[in-house]
């Protein structure tokens, strides 16, 4: 498991996974495949097969994207996790009616600082995962830019983006912004 202050399991509310707010209800068969993927997590091929079947049944559904992200993240398949994080950002931008370019999203676009604001939080958590993965994969400036955006959108840092600054410090690549 990657070492990090970022923990998708602890930070994404489980209610978010099946929320109709994120597009549409998750079909029961897709939910079944997500469940089977979690039960077979230790057998990569089987777990990934279930995730792909869930994706085929509910393409673009946030629950499936989050399942794929978690799988790749915790299997240290960071490049694939990054691709899914980008899909999560696109999905979050779509359901929030934000710009498709996360760099153009503004603090006034949503109530980012409210815990109850599930849709904006999905965007923030997706961007946080993206930022962390960019840094882990050596794209330091892209990761830094994403962290700056997170702190701009959520200055009270309810999602813990400042923890990513600690990652930069450990990497020896932190400077005051």
Half-sphere exposure of 73 (CA within 13 A, CB side): 22
Per-residue pLDDT of 44-102, as tens digits, reads 999 999 999 999 999 999 999 999 999 999 999 999 999 999 999 999 999 999 999 99
- Residue 15, both tokens: 């209610």
- Put simply, whether the predicted model's pTM sits higher than 0.95 gets the answer no
Per-residue pLDDT of 114-143, as tens digits, reads 888 889 999 999 999 999 999 999 999 999
Sequence-distant (6+) residues with CB within 8 A of 109 are 96, 98, 120
Sequence-distant (6+) residues with CB within 8 A of 149 are 102, 103, 105, 127
pLDDT of residue 52: 98
DSSP calls for 45-93: HHHHHHHHHHHHHSTT-HHHHHHHHHHHHHTT-HHHHHHHHHHHHHHHH
């Amino acid at each position: 498991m990657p070492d990090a202050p970022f923990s998708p399991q602890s930070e994404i509310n489980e209610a978010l996974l099946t929320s109709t707010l994120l597009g549409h209800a998750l079909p029961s068969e897709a939910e079944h495949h997500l469940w089977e993927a979690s039960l077979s997590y230790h057998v990569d091929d089987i777990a990934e097969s279930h995730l792909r079947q869930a994706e085929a049944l509910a393409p673009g559904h946030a629950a499936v994207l989050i399942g794929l992200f978690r799988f790749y993240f915790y299997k240290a398949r960071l490049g694939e996790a990054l691709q899914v994080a980008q899909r999560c950002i696109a999905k979050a931008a779509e359901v929030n009616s934000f710009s498709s370019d996360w760099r153009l999203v503004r603090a006034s676009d949503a109530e980012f600082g409210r815990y109850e604001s599930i849709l904006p939080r999905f965007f923030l958590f997706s961007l946080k995962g993206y930022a962390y993965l960019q840094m882990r994969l050596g794209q330091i400036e892209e990761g830094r830019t994403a962290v700056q955006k997170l702190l701009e959108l959520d200055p009270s840092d309810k999602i813990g983006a400042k923890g990513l600054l600690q990652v930069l410090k450990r990497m020896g690549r932190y400077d005051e912004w």
